[in-house]
Chain A
Amino acid sequence: GENVEQHPSTLSVQEGDSAVIKCTYSDSASNYFPWYKQELGKRPQLIIDIRSNVGEKKDQRIAVTLNKTAKHFSLHITETQPEDSAVYFCAASRRAAGNKLTFGGGTRVLVKP
């Protein structure tokens, strides 16, 4: 089955700086790669996603890049703000596997004011 590795496990940045989280996946058939943000005690919520036919996607301060050959994808947050502090999870899925998501281990991001 699919295996998703995520790094780093914790990330501390100064407000206004950029944050980068990296993930690798094992199943070359995976074709959907979402990123979820989870605040303490809350549900995971989708912040951005990318499909395998696209190399990069941007939404305001958040961007995701995908390298299918290397089987890795990354989340970039620019101009970080204190409200960006949370745990971020990458995931991968494919239609033939029931669209179930396989998650990485998470990155705890702390934005220091």
Chain B
Amino acid sequence: DTGVSQNPRHKITKRGQNVTFRCDPISEHNRLYWYRQTLGQGPEFLTYFQNEAQLEKSRLLSDRFSAERPKGSFSTLEIQRTEQGDSAMYLCASTLTGEAGELFFGEGSRLTVL
């Protein structure tokens, strides 16, 4: 296992289009997190899963955003009717349930909305 994998790495789309990002966590990790990072800022929490259950969603996650982890393994993050303000790096991270500890991040999916 080489770590957390995200695809695509880059996505350029026109305003109003839908986009989907995929995250494959480290195989034994049952917790998966999505973050959004804009230029010059720290990552902002969006949502997280424990196995297939989505346990928390941030207020940042508008109704145009939906995330799934149907089998408790990979996860998808879909953005519908994209807006220019959605342009950002979308980071996925995974870890094991238990005491607070390191989150292992993927390389991210960079979204540019024209």
Contacts and interface: CB of A to CB of B under 8 A. Distances in A.
Interface string B31-53: 10100000011111100101000
A105 B41 contact: yes
B108 interface: yes
Interface residues of A, number: 27
Given A89-B42, A100-B33, A42 B107 contact: yes
Given A44-B43, A106-B40, A101 B103 contact: yes
B25 interface: no
A32 B42 contact: no
A104 B42 contact: yes
A68 interface: no
A34 B31 CA distance: 18
B99 interface: yes
Contact of A43 (B42, B45, B98, B106): B106
Contacts of B31: 98-99
Interface in B31-88: 31, 33, 40-45, 48, 50, 55-56
Interface string B78-114: 0000000000000100010111111101111000000
A100 B45 contact: yes
B100 A95 contact: yes
6 contacts: A34-B102, A43-B106, A95-B99, A101-B45, A102-B45, A104-B42
Interface of B: 4, 31, 33, 40-45, 48, 50, 55-56, 91, 95, 97-103, 105-108
Interface of A: 4, 6, 31-32, 34, 36, 42-46, 49, 51, 89, 91, 93-95, 98-106
